[in-house]
Structure 1
Amino acid sequence: MSDAFPNTISHVSIGTNDFARSTAFYDRVLKTIGIHRLMEHPEAVAYGKVYPQFWVQTPFDGKTASVGNGTHFAFFVLSKEEVDTFHREGLAAGAEDDGAPGPRPDYGEPYYGAFLRDPDGHKIEATFWDMELARKLGMG
């Protein structure tokens, strides 16, 4: 395995019970943060910036998709404005608010994020880590 990848996780997959609705939602919301479709299969779509990291698909076993209690998926973004846009577009695309954009001091002063529940109920987040503030605070 190469040390070239900065991530520790290759990819994640979430299940959906309405593939068309879910992929339309993610097409709209993820483009606000520079993420787009990289691969497509009849019942699976992979999103990413460079390589497939976030999959939306119907469950392989044919059973009903369900939401993981305590599970959420967070996407790094480059600015507070991207967090705000992600949240706003997510709501417009049918998500439920699960935490409006804003600072999350419990996660560290440089942390700014927003939480949504996608149309299937999965918890997703956009997060910005203010590197300038982190350096000033001796955190990076």
Structure 2
Amino acid sequence: MAFQNPDREQIKHLLQGSDTVAVVGLSDNPERISYMVSEAMQKKGYTIIPVNPNADTILGQKSYAKLSDIPVPVDIVNVFRRSEHTPGVAEEAAAIGAKTLWLQLGISNEEAASIASAAGMNVIMDRCIKVEDSILLPEGKPKS
């Protein structure tokens, strides 16, 4: 059976219950989409954790070389890497106990989805987290 993203209500619930977003492939270049999307999510109240082995800090946050280096629990692993690199990211995300694997707009991989699903993770592919958050939570996340 072909992969299908959760419906909008499920995505809204998922975003409401998430605080920490590890962004794999987050660029330190403010002109890159990964930077713009992550900056917008940070301004909405999400804790953004950069995963980029070539940067020390991005968006004022310490950058980590890989997901397993992150010392805190991660709710969402948001991926800005080419589709063929995502199965390995899915394995890393499962290994750290992330709740959701989110492949950004234009990125999808059935193998990555299967790995994450088998680990009990939510999977969203080929969707922009910033767009979904803006549509589903226009007033921002409810304060917990």
TM-score, normalised with respect to structure 1: 0.30
Larger strand fraction of residues: 1
TM-score, normalised with respect to structure 2: 0.29
Larger helix fraction of residues: 2
